[in-house]
Amino acid sequence: MEIKSLTKIAYQRVSNGRDQVLQKNRGYGIVTVNFKDLIFAVPLRSNLNHPNGFKTILVGKVWNGLDYSKALLVESADITQESFVLRDQKEYEKIIKNKDKIINEFAKYLTDYITFCESKNKDIPMKFKFTTLRYFHSELGVIDL
């Protein structure tokens, strides 16, 4: 599992018309998770204040980590070749050590989201309320809510 970032062109393409996609003009480290034939970029966040991700290190009173709810569907050409350098080596080591756990947790988050969409339940659970996965329904094969 490598920590990379998205190319500027990829970010512009993915964020176009999608107001909840990551903040503009800010570089994000990402890890990629393959699910079926799709590639997801799961961003690192410096303030992971919800349970829908993998927490890495505590900085003061705030957790850093991978945010499953802000994952983006990307193509392999969207990912930079250069590694994204983290401020803390311990964070990198924790991600590498927990590669399988991260992949499994993200796959569960994604399948739970797809199952929720297929249920046609209109009451959106909090863990999906602000997810960026809603922008990729056609690729995920789900009907819009």
pLDDT digit string, tens, across residues 67-113: 999 999 999 999 999 999 888 899 999 999 999 999 999 999 999 99
- Please tell me the pTM assigned to this model: 0.90
CB-CB neighbours of 79 under 10 Å = 18
Residue 62 domain-assigned (yes or no): yes
Residue 1 domain-assigned (yes or no): no
Instruction: Name which of 82-86, 98-102, 120-124, 134-138 the model is least confident about.
Output: 120-124
Range of the domain at 54: 8-140
Q: How far is CA 66 from the centre of its chain?
A: 7
Q: CA 140, CA 118: separation in Å to the nearest integer?
A: 11
- CATH code, domain carrying 27: 3.10.129.130
Which amino acid belongs to residue 118? E
